[in-house]
Each structure stands twice: as structure tokens, then as C-alpha cells.
Amino acid sequence: MHAAEILSHFAIKPVSGDHAVHSPADGAEIGRVAFDDAAAIDRKIAQSVAAFHAWRLVPAPRRGELVRLFGEELRAHKDMLGRLVSLEMGKILQEGLGEVQEMIDICDFAVGLSRQLYGLTIASERPGHRMMEQWHPAGPVAIISAFNFPVAVWSWNAALALVCGDSVLWKPSEKTPLTALAVQALFARAASRFGDVPAHLSQVVLGLRDAGERLAKDARIPVVSATGSTRMGRELGPVVAARFGRSILELGGNNAMIVCPSARLDLALRAIVFSAVGTAGQRCTSLRRLFVHEAVYEKLVPQLKAIYAGLPIGSPLETGTLVGPLIDRPAFEAMQRALHDAEAEGGRITGGGRTLEREFPNAFYVHPAIAEMPDQTPVVMRETFAPILYVMRYADFDTAIAQHNAVPQGLSSCVFTQDMQEAEKFLAAAGSDCGIANVNIGPSGAEIGGAFGGEKETGGGRESGSDAWKAYMRRQTATVNYSDALPLAQGISFDIGP
């Protein structure tokens, strides 16, 4: 199916501006979009504020109805949107469809949530008083997203923000604007079925990082949810903090697995391959560091290499492909630099080279790499957004946990073991220091029901399930006095006479 056909399905004009969008599958131009200038961004923010003022007055369960209708649109157009994700981002179609399914799942979650925005009732120390906690809509929410999850990350934020009574402004990655426009088109259909949605409730702001910077700086936006590299978060976080805004940061990961002597190696292998080569190693939760106990190293690693040697690499839209392309040439060059460093630091590399160069001279397909490292050297400590798996031996479980936690990032982690003591140690206070910790499951492919995010340089933000919704609302403690007196808290005496 041609790009033009997919775009016309969403009523997107393939050419509406100067910024060219290329498919990583073959490097071909699939569309051109116009970026928003400063004046347009300013106008959109003002419109978002106006939309918020109307939307916050709509009862939350009714707001949930809009998200329910949007979920229906996603169900009806799942295949087309999944294809567009695959075409524009380069992940294989199965993963593109999975990403849209994730959007549907979070919509379902948000619809239920729209009747559960609970606050606590708290015992007051004063007689004849009632104290309670209320949650009110926060305001326009800016969502800045990365190229690798071009649609799901927006929906984790937007579905919650919308039921919480907020308006949303989405600055997608400059590499994936078309999927954002397609999602916006589906949202517009849901909004017209809903009837009286305020104009500009959900908007897209297209541009490079300067567009993101404008949103970060603007005091009219109380919440900025930003997903991307740690570099981006390091720049954006202080800008939002300087105006006392709230940021939800979802940044880089450097995720690991520990394979213990008792591990089910068949399960471990499946998890390693899916999480290390899935999305061509371009997931924030991709497996990058593998610690294998010396008792099973010689059994596991050769099997892993054999699977790697037979991986079907090719066009992401072709059935049977498991490894699609990297996003672009800079990603390929960063991968080659990391492999060069790994070798210089004593690593033994298998794979990692470019492939399908003749068929796709303008695309960047690679053989996923295994780098057997003598230790956790500097290259292992940084996130390289490519399919490189650093493999290390360990002898002692506590040392493996210490090594596991020794990197600056803290997103996802896992252990493969049948030993209850090891599993529990991994999940305990002195175990994994990550936001996500799994037993006998790989580090990637989280469900939407749990809160998603990580610690340290991963930014500390939480999105999606559990009580992540609270970040999109403002908390208010309200106390009501229904007595005939005015007792002061802490028993303070303040006598102003009769």
C-alpha cells in the first residue's frame, strides 16, 4: 500500500509545507508538512487555554464519553494507523499495530477512570469540621513526544489529560509528524460525533525542538510531559521549573537483564531477542545490558548468537520481518561509533554491520549486534539508540545487582530465575533501582495498567496506569467548618476579645 493511499485515508494532504518526511523503510519522501511559527504557536496556546476553560466544566464521566468515542475510531482505523506508524517510524507492522492497540487500551482505562477521580476524606483534628482532598483540572497540557513511539506516548498522556478536564497541545517528533496528523484526524471524528466539544481541545504543534522550547517556556501551560533523550530532559526540565510548571519527564533508558543459573533459558532467550532487537533496538525499554551467570554463559550465549544469525531483517511492512530499519543515517553512525568504542574497550563484537544497502541505498538496515564485554565499560554505561546488546558474565548475584544499578539511567529491568530468594531480592528495596522491575519477563513491552517511567536520568516521570492521572490535575485540600465556633488547628489560642 502506497503512502499516498494511507494519508488520503486520514484526509491528510501529502504536501502542505516545506518540511520533508522520509520513510526509514526505503528513504523515500512520503509527505511534506508545514511547521508552526512563533505566532502560530502563541495562537494555539491561547486557543488551548480557551478550550480548557470550557472543558473543565464538563462532568468527568461525560469527558470520558469523548475518549470512549475516540477509542472506537482507533479500533475502526487500527490497521491503517498501524501501517502509517510502520511506514513513518520504521517499526515492523506487528509493532505498529501493537502501538495502536496500546492507544485503545489506555482509552478504555481512561473511560473507567473518568468515574474514579477520587479524593480522600481526611479526619480533621477540629470538632465540627470536615477535611477532604479534591482533584481539579490543571490546565493545558503540552505533550512533547519522541520518534520511536510516535502515537502511543501521546495517548498515554492525552487520554488521561482529557478525562481529567485538560486541553492538550501535542508537539510530535519532527521525524514523525504524519502519524500525529492522522491521530488528530481521528480525534476530530470522535469530537464531531460527541457534539459539543470545545474548539481546539486537542491540537498539534509541528516544528523542531524550538517549538518544544516555546511550549516549555510558556506559563499558560501548567503541565509539560516530555518524552525523549536525557539531553532533551536536561534542557527542558529547568526551563519548566524556572516558571514553577510541572514536568513529566520520560527520558533515556539503559535496561538490563540478569540471567541466573536456575533460569528457564528457553524463556530467557525469547525475552532477550524480543527486547534487544524489537523496534531495531529503538525502544526506551530495549534490552541493552545482559548479565549472564558464568554457569550458564557458555550455553546461553552461543544459542543467542545462532538466533541472531537467522533473524529476518527487511522492510517493516513485509510479513515475517522481525528487524526493520534504523530511523536514519545519524542513528546508524551513532551505532557504528558505539561498536567502535566497545571494541576499543575490550569487547568482542558479533554482527552490527549494515545490510540491504543495495536494495535500499537510502535506508539503514543493520544486523543487530552482540558485544561481549570484559566489564561494564564507559560505552555500556550510555544509551545508544540501536540494537547493540552488551553481554557480561557474573559470578555473584549481589555483585550483579550492584553492576545493574551502576548506570545513570533507571527505566526498566528484569531477572530470569526460578530461585525465589533471587527474585525477591531483585524486587526488594536493595534490589533493582528502576521504575520497572520484572521477574521472568523481558524489560520491554509494558502493559498500560501500571505506571510507566523510571528513575535517575530517566527523569522520574510516571505516565499511563495506576495513579499517574494525578499529575494532570491540581490537588486541593478543602476544610469545611459546620460548627458554631472557630477552633484553630494545633490548638493555637488567638484571643481577639468578645
Contact residues: ligand NAD, CB under 6 A: 144-149, 153, 171, 173-174, 208-209, 212-213, 216, 227-229, 232, 235-236, 250-253, 284, 383, 385, 411, 458
Whether 452 and 427 have beta carbons less than 8 Å apart is answered as no
Nearer to ligand NAD by Cβ, of 157 and 315: the residue is 157
C-alpha cell at 426: 531483585
Cβ-based neighbour number of residue 125 at 10 Å = 11
Helix/strand number for the chain, H first, E second: 15, 23
* Integer Cα distance of 235 and 25 in angstroms: 31
- Catalytic member of 65, 73, 95, 250: 250
Nearer to ligand NAD by Cβ, of 9 and 209: the residue is 209
What's the residue count for the chain? 498
Q: From the CB of 432, what's the least distance to ligand NAD, in Å? A: 16
C-alpha cell at 457: 536520568
C-alpha cell at 355: 545490510
Q: From the CB of 412, what's the least distance to ligand NAD, in Å? A: 9
Q: From the CB of 231, what's the least distance to ligand NAD, in Å? A: 6
Which amino acid belongs to residue 468? A
* Integer Cα distance of 140 and 143 in angstroms: 10
Nearer to ligand NAD by Cβ, of 73 and 383: the residue is 383
Q: Which residue's beta carbon is nearest to the bound ligand NAD?
A: 212
* Contacts of 98 by beta carbon, 8 Å cutoff, 6+ apart: 82
250 assigned to active site: yes
Q: From the CB of 55, what's the least distance to ligand NAD, in Å? A: 25
Nearer to ligand NAD by Cβ, of 55 and 472: the residue is 472
Nearer to ligand NAD by Cβ, of 215 and 296: the residue is 215
- Catalytic member of 107, 164, 260, 284: 284
Whether 464 and 106 have beta carbons less than 8 Å apart is answered as yes
Q: From the CB of 230, what's the least distance to ligand NAD, in Å? A: 6
Whether 231 and 255 have beta carbons less than 8 Å apart is answered as no
* Integer Cα distance of 110 and 27 in angstroms: 37
C-alpha cell at 357: 544497502
Give catalytic residue positions: 250, 284
